Amino acid sequence: MTNYHLSMEQRFHLEAAFREIDACMDMEKLKELTKQIITSQENDKTFAREAMVQHKKEMEFAVSKKFGFR
């Protein structure tokens, strides 16, 4: 998995999470943690997608206003 330009704080949180996972011997806890991670990733993707759509709308509006298309 590629980590794109993670900040020092993000790398620290990742390392802490990896250590917690490595130390865990409780299968139910690991299952729950995995579900939380997957849910978080999907929420992040949704947020990014919605932010891009909103940004596109704002850019289109700014361009249309600038050139008098509306």
Would you give the distance in Å from CA 39 to the centre of its chain? Answer: 10
Residue 15 lies in a domain: yes
At 22-61, the pLDDT tens digits run: 999 999 999 998 899 899 999 999 999 999 999 999 999 8
Task: Give me the number of domains the chain comprises.
Answer: 1
Residue 69 is predicted with a pLDDT of: 61
Non-local (6+) Cβ contacts of 63 within 8 A are 69
Residue 2 is predicted with a pLDDT of: 67
Would you give the distance in Å from CA 13 to the centre of its chain? Answer: 14
Q: Give the Cα separation of 12 and 15 in Å (integer).
A: 5
Residue 3 lies in a domain: no
Confidence of residue 1 (pLDDT cuts 50, 70, 90): low
Residue 34 lies in a domain: yes
Residue 60 lies in a domain: yes
Residue 2 lies in a domain: no
Residue 32 lies in a domain: yes
21 neighbors 33 (Cβ within 8 angstroms) = yes
Residue 44 is predicted with a pLDDT of: 94
Residue 3 is predicted with a pLDDT of: 65
Residue 70 is predicted with a pLDDT of: 56
Residue 56 lies in a domain: yes
The domain of 19 spans 8-67
